[in-house]
Structure 1
Amino acid sequence: MNQTESKYILEMHHISKSFGGVSALQDVSFKCSPGTVHALVGENGAGKSTLIKILSGALKADSGEIIFKGKNHSSFSTLEKH
């Protein structure tokens, strides 16, 4: 692995999302290495579904970046998922 490659397959940096005046996610970051399994847990209203919807392309983050397999994505589109 050279210096520009990351050891992570997925990185989410400083993701924020609001609905109206209600903040659903505020400055959320997450990293996942290849071959690992993670569980996303939290109370009702913690933003779990919102984060996954941003990752899947169903919602667009207000701010932040997603890096998947070394490529930066502001959001994922339906075409990229197929």
Structure 2
Amino acid sequence: MNEAFKALADPTRRQILKLLRDQNMTAGEIADQFQISKPSISHHLSLLKQAGLVSDERRGQNIVYSLHTTVMEDVLSWMFSILGSEDKEESS
């Protein structure tokens, strides 16, 4: 889970996740949405993959990235459980 939080700390990676929320995309399609180098995008995608937030699949010459929703749901569930605990403590 720690790797997921590190990956989510970067605004570029959060934007990549937003893009993938709507549709699966190739690395080139993702890179076209940013004003940074393709190697930088590849690095971000690699970190997201290591954190388990995205998965990739080779299709011919392309690698298609998709949001790994199960891990995202786990992270969000954990965050909401923490927020829920704090709300209970505040009302005590």
Q: TM-score normalised to the size of structure 1?
A: 0.29
Q: Hey, which of these two has a bigger chunk of helix by percent?
A: 2
Q: Hey, which of these two has a bigger chunk of strand by percent?
A: 1
